């Protein structure tokens, strides 16, 4: 599109100009002088008053509905009477809506000297001089300059050398402006480049992400005040944890130092373990008994596990699964206990597994009792130590005797 910048009209008409007469440059913006308060109302105005009064009394017929042609005629009449400054603002606004930042980038591109040209070769001025005239920083001017330069490399706009001051060219759509323009100098840093790349991968404008990154306090306020923002932050942190071991450690340390979080993590871990127990039955068709042996899950157990698991999977993402997991886990344990009790061979294996597991634990604990690091036994001696060891010796002797009697061939 072509953007034409209108020149401002003088606030007061020249002396030789008849009031109400338009100049040749802006005859379409003729403004009718306002009537003075002392002027008598015109005949048309008197008729309007009479008509209004008649309609209030109910003597005059109702006006016909306005047609589309009538409304269009009114709009055209309004445009004829609009003030020149208002019309110019509307035109500039429309140009910006269609072209976005390109309208301003064009002003920079056709007025600022490109690299390699000196002041004597072109009427264009430096970015610093342009910024002084515009009342802004040279950095801001250069951001528009660089955006135009990138677009020129892609063939969307002419190069600087092909533009002359005041020249108008067809501009790209406003939708692609933010593809080339970065409004913050932080975008040029390594950190800013990474943020911009991540923003483009998420399908949002880099300027939005950079603005958030530059205002961590605002981000914190949004997370604290808005649950949906907090959920988005949580999801982002979880994604980042997979690639950031240092963040994993820091977050784990924060959780360990916060009692409420520790309890919540413990509860969720327990619930996840119970759900995993049920899911194992469904997916592998096996179950672990209280003693620790793995057996094939009966059909009744698998059917019940599938039912509980389907109920858990249907829960909403934020819904608490603790009670559902406990109910499923208790149901599985009851069926497993009934299965073991109904099968003599399975019951015998369960008792043997349980006994051997307890024996291994007791052996490991006793082996950890050592006096190697104690120079004098009298420094650790207590009467109940000797008594408990004697009781343990008697229990072990009794156990050995019973096992010898049960051994084959005895």
Mean pLDDT of 35-48: 42
**What pLDDT shows up at residue 68?**
62
Rounded to whole angstroms, the Cα distance separating 272 from 219 reads: 31
Token couple for 192 = 């800013």
**Which DSSP letter does residue 120 get?**
T
User: Residue 23 corresponds to which tokens in the numbers above?
Assistant: 């100049």
pLDDT given at position 36: 40
Residue 329: closest CA among 381, 374, 369, 276: 276
pLDDT band at 106 (very low <50, low <70, confident <90, very high): very high
CB atoms within 10 A of CB 17: 12
Tell me the C-alpha distance between 205 and 179, whole Å. 8
Pick 255 or 39 by higher pLDDT: 255
Summarised one tens digit per residue, pLDDT across range 108-162 is 999 998 766 676 778 899 888 898 998 888 888 888 888 898 899 989 999 998 9
The predicted structure's pLDDT at residue 33 = 39
Give per-residue pLDDT as tens, 197-239: 777 777 777 777 777 777 888 888 989 999 998 988 888 888 8
Separation between Cα atoms, residue 130 and residue 112, nearest integer Å:
7
Q: What is the pLDDT of residue 155?
A: 92
Cα separation of 208 and 222, whole Å? 14
pLDDT over 50 at 294, yes or no = yes
Q: How far is 301 from 336, CA to CA, in rounded Å?
A: 8
Residue 287 in contact with residue 297, Cβ under 8 Å? yes
Q: What is the pLDDT of residue 408?
A: 78
């Amino acid at each position: 599109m072509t953007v034409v910048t209108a020149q401002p009209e003088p606030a007061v008409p020249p002396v030789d100009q008849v009031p109400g007469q338009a100049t040749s440059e802006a005859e379409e913006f003729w403004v009718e002088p306002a009537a003075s308060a002392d002027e008598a109302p015109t005949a048309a105005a008197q008729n309007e008053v009479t008509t209004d009064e008649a309609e209030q009394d109910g003597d005059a017929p109702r006006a016909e509905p306005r047609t589309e042609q009538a409304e269009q005629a009114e709009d055209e009449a309004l445009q004829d009477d609009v003030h020149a400054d208002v019309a110019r603002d509307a035109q500039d606004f429309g140009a910006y809506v269609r072209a976005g930042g390109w309208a301003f980038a064009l002003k920079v591109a056709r007025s600022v000297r490109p690299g390699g040209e000196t002041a004597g070769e072109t009427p264009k001025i430096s970015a610093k001089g342009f910024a002084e005239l515009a009342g802004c920083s040279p950095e801001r001017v250069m951001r528009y300059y660089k955006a135009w330069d990138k677009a020129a490399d892609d063939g969307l706009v002419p190069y600087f050398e092909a533009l002359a001051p005041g020249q108008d060219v067809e501009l790209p759509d406003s939708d692609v402006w933010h593809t080339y323009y970065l409004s913050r100098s932080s975008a040029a840093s390594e950190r800013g480049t990474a943020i911009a790349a991540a923003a483009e991968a998420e399908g949002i404008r880099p300027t939005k992400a950079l603005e958030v990154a530059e205002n961590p306090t605002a981000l914190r306020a949004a997370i604290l005040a808005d649950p949906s923002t907090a959920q988005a932050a949580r999801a982002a942190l979880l994604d980042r944890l997979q690639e950031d071991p240092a963040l994993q450690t820091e977050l784990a340390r924060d959780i360990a130092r916060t009692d409420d979080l520790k309890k919540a993590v413990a509860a969720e871990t327990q619930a996840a373990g119970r759900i995993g127990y049920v899911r194992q039955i469904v997916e592998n068709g096996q179950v672990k008994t209280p003693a620790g042996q793995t057996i094939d899950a009966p059909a009744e157990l698998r059917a019940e596990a599938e039912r509980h698991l389907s109920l858990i999977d249907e829960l909403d993402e934020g819904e608490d699964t603790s009670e559902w997991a406990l109910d499923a886990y208790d149901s599985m344990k009851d069926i497993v206990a009934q299965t073991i009790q109904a099968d003599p061979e399975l019951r015998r294996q369960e008792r043997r597994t349980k006994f051997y597991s307890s024996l291994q634990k007791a052996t490991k604990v006793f082996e950890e009792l050592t006096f190697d690091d104690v120079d004098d036994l009298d420094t650790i001696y207590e009467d109940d130590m000797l008594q408990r060891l004697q009781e343990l010796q008697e229990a072990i002797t009794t156990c050995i005797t019973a096992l010898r009697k049960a051994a084959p061939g005895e």
